[in-house]
Amino acid sequence: MTATTLDPAASPATLDRIRAHLVGLNMPRALEVLEHILRRIERGEISALEAIDTLLGEELTLREGRRVRSALKMGRLINIKTLGGFDFSFQPSLDRDRIMALAQLDFVDRHEAVHFLGQPGCGKTHLALALGVEAVKSGRSVYFATLADIVSSLAKAEREGTLRERLRFLCRPQLLIVDEIGYLPVIPGGGNLFFQLVNARYERGAMILTSNRGFAEWGDVFGGTVVATALLDRLLHHAVVVQIEGASYRLRRHADLIPDNTRTRSITTPQPQPRRRGRPPKMTSTQPDTDL
């Protein structure tokens, strides 16, 4: 038997042993493509070494696909999003190169936090999920949940006396994605519970957080400025903040139906205005309210 020719007399017994080995090693994909690879050897298209490489590569691809699917399911990344599927042209405020740099996942290894801030529908969750998928593909562990789900699970664990175990569970993934900060009010005491999680992961695990609220509004979200300040102290220490200024991608076909006063607004933290000297101006009933 040469590198490109099979010995007819020896091949049946040898093939039977190879098939048995593949079954015993639980290599179904390799078993499936074996005949096709042998025909390519007979036609002189590939060498024996190339055949072995192809056989093992097919099996590895199958197993890697299974691993990724299992990890995505365990991490609750059910709604799969990819960076390739994100329309950067619709959000010109986004620096595509910056997002692609995040996809290298150095922030995960450095245990940093990434914040995506923007109005509903601008792509925050899509980007967070896409980076989560990239992390899973690279072999890193990921867990995805909304803030409401996380706080609810921590509150339940506290009532049942298992808070420490729940915190340990949420600290286990290398990347924790917390979605929808600010969309729903946090239950009483929820801010303190979330702080315990953030404090436990601080400089030990990476996080991605999405929010439709600027950091100045987090006191309203978490029920007080004290807990919000403590959270931001840790979440902004080693952080990347990505502000998305664009409009809602979901409503792009119905933009003419959206009232002007509810369209895209910047949610960056407002800067304090310089204090005006002298007596404040007198307000009259004819003066317009600039806050409306």
68 occurs within a structural domain: yes
d(CA 198, CA 180): 16
Question: Which of the listed residues 74, 105, 122 is the one where a domain comes to its end?
Answer: 74
Question: What residues make up the domain containing 17?
Answer: 11-74
User: Do residues 69 and 180 share a domain?
Assistant: no
User: Do residues 24 and 164 share a domain?
Assistant: no
Task: Give me the pLDDT at residue 247, please.
Answer: 65
User: Do residues 99 and 62 share a domain?
Assistant: no
User: Do residues 114 and 137 share a domain?
Assistant: yes
User: Do residues 119 and 228 share a domain?
Assistant: yes
Distances (CA, A) of 202 to 109, 197, 232, 290, 292: 13, 9, 11, 40, 39
Question: Which of the listed residues 50, 74, 98 is the one where a domain comes to its end?
Answer: 74
The residue written with tokens 């933290």 in the block is 269
Mean pLDDT by 10 residues, the chain (292 residues): 44 88 95 94 93 95 95 92 92 93 98 96 95 97 98 98 98 98 94 98 98 96 95 97 79 50 49 43 38 28
User: Do residues 41 and 185 share a domain?
Assistant: no
Task: Give me the pLDDT at residue 8, please.
Answer: 44
Closest CA to 154 of 191, 126, 110: 191
Cβ atoms 249, 90 nearer than 8 A: yes
234 occurs within a structural domain: yes
194 occurs within a structural domain: yes
80 occurs within a structural domain: no
Task: Give me the pLDDT at residue 78, please.
Answer: 83
User: Do residues 127 and 257 share a domain?
Assistant: yes
Tell me how many domains the chain contains. 2
- Determine what percent of the chain is predicted with pLDDT higher than 70: 80
Closest CA to 232 of 115, 129, 130: 115
User: Do residues 241 and 207 share a domain?
Assistant: yes
d(CA 79, CA 160): 31
Cβ atoms 251, 119 nearer than 8 A: no
Q: At what angle do helices 147-160 and 190-201 cross, to 10 degrees?
A: 100
User: Do residues 61 and 171 share a domain?
Assistant: no
User: Do residues 29 and 118 share a domain?
Assistant: no
Count of C-beta atoms within a 10 Å radius of residue 100? 11
Here the CATH number for the domain that contains residue 243 is: 3.40.50.300
**What is the pTM assigned to this prediction?**
0.78
Task: Give me the pLDDT at residue 288, please.
Answer: 35
User: Do residues 203 and 237 share a domain?
Assistant: yes
pLDDT digits (tens, 9 = 90+) for 134-193: 999 999 999 999 999 999 999 999 999 999 999 999 999 999 999 999 998 899 999 999
Distances (CA, A) of 96 to 103, 106, 125, 215: 11, 17, 16, 24
Task: Give me the pLDDT at residue 249, please.
Answer: 62
End-to-end CA distance of the chain: 86
User: Do residues 47 and 165 share a domain?
Assistant: no
Q: In a 3-state reduction of DSSP, which class is residue 141?
A: coil
Count of C-beta atoms within a 10 Å radius of residue 23? 12
